[in-house]
Every structure is written in structure tokens, then in C-alpha cells.
Amino acid sequence: MSADRQTITVYSDYVCPFCYLGRQSLSQYQENRDEELAIDWRPFDLRSQKRRPDGTIDHSVDDGKDDEYFEQAKQNVRRLADDYGVEMDLDIAEDVDSLPAQIVSYYLREHHDYETWLAFDEAVFAALWEDGEDIGDADLLAELAVDAGAEADEVRSALDDETLRETVRERFTEAQREGITGVPTFAYDGYAARGAVPPEQLERLVEGT
């Protein structure tokens, strides 16, 4: 990423529908800007309370999110999708693990240019929320990475790299230490906005207007 490119920090998890919707809002704000606002992506794990030591998800763990919670969340997702003119295949991705996608995304961010990472990042969101695909699947992630300009072998090596996996999990912990309790969180110049906020709120965050 160019050092002189204006950036907005975005904490997100691919399985969060509000992160997808927040990115749609950010895209709509970007359309009215003269210069591109680059994304400084920070991974966040919504499933951290359910993860076993080996990184797999224990769906039997009670995280306090009952049927009523999910129904309310679905209603909010549908409302925001209508507001932003977005068609979504899913309301909630309860059974999808985003950790593999976040590992590959982190690898691409560190080893490729910004455009390659961004193409992959947007493709992961689209694969899950527009096409209803399993973004925890290594073959799908390899396909998306190749389309973005990377190599399939890189993806498989990244997913097998235990050091990289631990680094990504450390980034999750780091986000929590920084006070991030929910996603998406947009941060700019010491200020933050949480949730799939509308484009005009992102404009106020960045431009102070």
C-alpha cells in the first residue's frame, strides 16, 4: 500500500453480515470521493469464545446468542440490505468458519500488493453473502486467490503454516486489547464508528463534515 494513500482502518470478520453491509456502505461513500480511501484491514474473530485450542469451533459452547438474538439480527440485516440496495443470499452464516479465509487474507496482505489483497477480500465477502459458498473451504479460497492474482500453492502453504495461523490469532487478541468489542469498526484519526453505519456517517468520520 502506498505510504501517501489515505487509509481507513476497518476491523471485520468475513462471517459477520454487518461487516459485509458496512463494506457496501464504505463503497457507496467511496463513489463520492475524488481520491480512493484505502482499507487498512484488521482481522477480528467473532467465534473466539467457541474456539478449541486447535482452532476448530465447538458449536456446543453457549455464547449467549439464542434464537431470539439471531432472529433480531436477521431482521436488522434485511433492513440494512434494503437500505443499501444489496441482495444477499444469507442472513446469518452460523456454521461457517472464517478463520481459513482470514489466514489467507492476512498472508496476501503481507506478501502481495494492495490491489491483490483487496480483490481477494471483496471476493470472499461476495462468495459468502452473495453466493452462499463455504469460505472455510481451501479449494474455494485457492480459486478466489488465483482470480485475485495470487497462486493456488501459496494459499495451501498459508493454510498449513502454523506460525502464520498463530500470528493471525494474535491479531485477534490485539484487536480486543485495543478495545474492539464488535465489528465492523471503522477507525480514522483517533475516532471510530461501529456497525454498518450509513455512508454519510463514514464521511463525517473521515472528513469531519
pTM for the structure as a whole: 0.93
Classify residue 89 by its DSSP letter: S
Measuring CA to CA, which residue among 5, 10, 4 is closest to residue 196?
10
C-alpha 197 chain-centroid distance: 15
On whether the CB atoms of residues 77 and 91 are closer than 8 A, the answer is: yes
Q: How far apart are CA 100 and CA 158, in angstroms?
A: 9
Q: How far apart are CA 175 and CA 6, in angstroms?
A: 21
Quickly count: other Cβ atoms within 10 Å of residue 162's Cβ: 8
* Domains of the chain, start order: 7-207 (3.40.30.10)
Residue 68, pLDDT score: 87
Q: What is the mean pLDDT of each run of 10 residues along the chain (209 residues)?
A: 78 98 97 93 93 85 81 94 94 92 98 98 98 97 98 98 96 95 96 97 92
Measuring CA to CA, which residue among 125, 98, 174, 92 is closest to residue 25?
125
Residues in the chain: 209
